[in-house]
Amino acid sequence: MSKIFLFDALREATDEEMDRDKSVFVLGEDVGHYGGSYKVTKDLHVKYGDIRVLDTPIAENSFMGMAIGAAMTGLRPIVEGMNMSFLLLAFNQISNNAGMLRYTSGGNFKIPLVIRGPGGVGKQLGAEHSQRLEAYFQAIPGLKIVACSTPYNAKGLLKSAIRDDNPVILFEHVLLYNVRESVPEHEYFVPLDKAELVKLGSHITIVTYSRMRYHVLQAVDMLINDGYDPEIIDLISLKPIDIHTIIQSLKKTHRLLIVEECMKTGGIAAEIIAQVNDNYFDLLDAPIVRLSSQDIPTPYNGSLEKATVIQPEQIVEAVKKLLS
User: Radius of gyration (Cα) for the chain, nearest Å?
Assistant: 20
d(CA 70, CA 74): 7
* pTM across the whole model: 0.95
Is residue 65 within 8 Å of 97, Cβ to Cβ? yes
Q: Which residues pair with 258 in a beta bridge?
A: 207, 290
pLDDT value at residue 213: 98
CATH 3.40.50.920 for domain 196-323, yes or no, is yes
Q: Which residues are catalytic?
A: 60, 129
d(CA 261, CA 241): 16
Please list the ranges in the chain whose pLDDT falls under 50: none
pLDDT value at residue 2: 83
Q: Which residues contact 20 (CB under 8 A, 6 or more apart)?
A: none
What CATH architecture does domain 2-183 belong to? 3-Layer(aba) Sandwich (3.40)
Q: Where in the chain is the domain with CATH 3.40.50.970?
A: 2-183
Is residue 116 within 8 Å of 153, Cβ to Cβ? no
pLDDT value at residue 59: 95
pLDDT value at residue 206: 98
d(CA 84, CA 65): 16
Is residue 268 within 8 Å of 259, Cβ to Cβ? no
Q: Where in the chain is the domain with CATH 3.40.50.920?
A: 196-323
Separation of first and last alpha carbons in the chain: 43
